[in-house]
Structure 1
Amino acid sequence: MRIAKIIDTTSVVINAGEDDGIKKGDKFQIIGKKGVEVLDPETGDFLGTLDDLKATIIANTVYPHMTIAESEKHKIPGMGNPSTLASTALTQGMFNSIPKELLEPHYVHEDLNVDKTQITGSFKKSDKPIQVGDLVVKE
């Protein structure tokens, strides 16, 4: 399998899909083109290569012949709930101005170290109306 397209810094397209046995949630490693060769110290025989691991990605949307995969998510801790913050002598008025996403933990995708000149984007939400005959795909 290969990277077929770089959508953005967290999403790529793989050139394999459902017909190749890929399922949503499958994990993949992106490997560099050339790893370090390992030789047996006694015989000099070639044992294999230590691959250059670039990233781990997870299948998110699987089509018959391609898959959109995303970087792993990492948990960002929140500031805590308002009752906990109250013990630090903050006033109730201040709680109303703190965005909810700062109070609660949330997850963000790790940026992949992609060649930014190869980002082509895709999958912008369409402003076109839904019509009879439009394709519907199960997630």
Structure 2
Amino acid sequence: MPQRKQTTVARILSQYEIIIAVGEVDGIKVGDQFTIVGKSNDEITNPKTGEVIGFVPIKKAVVRAKQVFERFTICENANTKYSSLFGAASIAANFDAKSPLNVRKEDIQSVDKNAKPVPIEVGDEVEYIH
């Protein structure tokens, strides 16, 4: 991802998929991984002044690029596993054991009417891993 090192969560499609605001024009490829970063609720204060000086950043999830479009990418939990139902020699279709992402239910804007909704927030920072 040569042009941008950070982006944001643009949309939450379901508990399994999010859209991030980078795509082919930014050098993203299927399989690239990203960290979704947020802030903890734990305020850090200056002990001398009492001023809030920030919040501890937390890693919310690691996601993998599943489908890359010109200017956005659909990502899934990087912990999602793909394997064959009956072993490598089988001609049976593969199944996937999707791992849900921790997303805010009210941010889900599903494209698929049959998708079942589940917290990550729109606007969260996204950092490219590799």
Q: Same fold (TM over 0.5)?
A: yes
Query: Is 1:32 matched up with 2:54?
Result: no
What residue in structure 2 maps to residue 54 of structure 1? 60
Question: What is the TM-score with the length of structure 1 in the denominator?
Answer: 0.54
* TM-score, normalised with respect to structure 2: 0.57
Name structure 1 gaps, 5 residues minimum: 39-48, 82-99, 126-139
Q: C-alpha root-mean-square deviation of aligned residues, in Å? A: 3.3
Q: Which position in structure 2 is the counterpart of 1:21?
A: 27
After the TM superposition, which parts of structure 1 deviate over 3 Å for at least 4 consecutive aligned residues?
33-38
**Aligned pair in 2 of structure 1 residues 53, 68: CA closer, same or farther (>3 Å)?**
same
Cα distance in 2 for partners of 1:35, 1:26 equals 29
- Larger Rg, first or second structure (1 or 2): 1
Cα distance, 1:75–1:22 mapped onto 2, change above 3 Å: closer
Q: Which residues in structure 2 correspond to 1:1-139 (within 5 Å)?
A: 1-33=7-39, 51-72=57-78, 73-74=80-81, 107-123=96-112
Amino acid at match of 2:102: N
Q: CA deviation at 1:107?
A: 3.4
Instruction: Pick 1 or 2: higher relative contact order, CA cutoff 8 A, min separation 6.
Output: 2
Q: Which has the higher strand share?
A: 2
Matched positions, count = 92
Higher helix share: 1
Q: What stretches of structure 2 of length at least 5 have no aligned partner?
A: 1-6, 45-54, 115-130
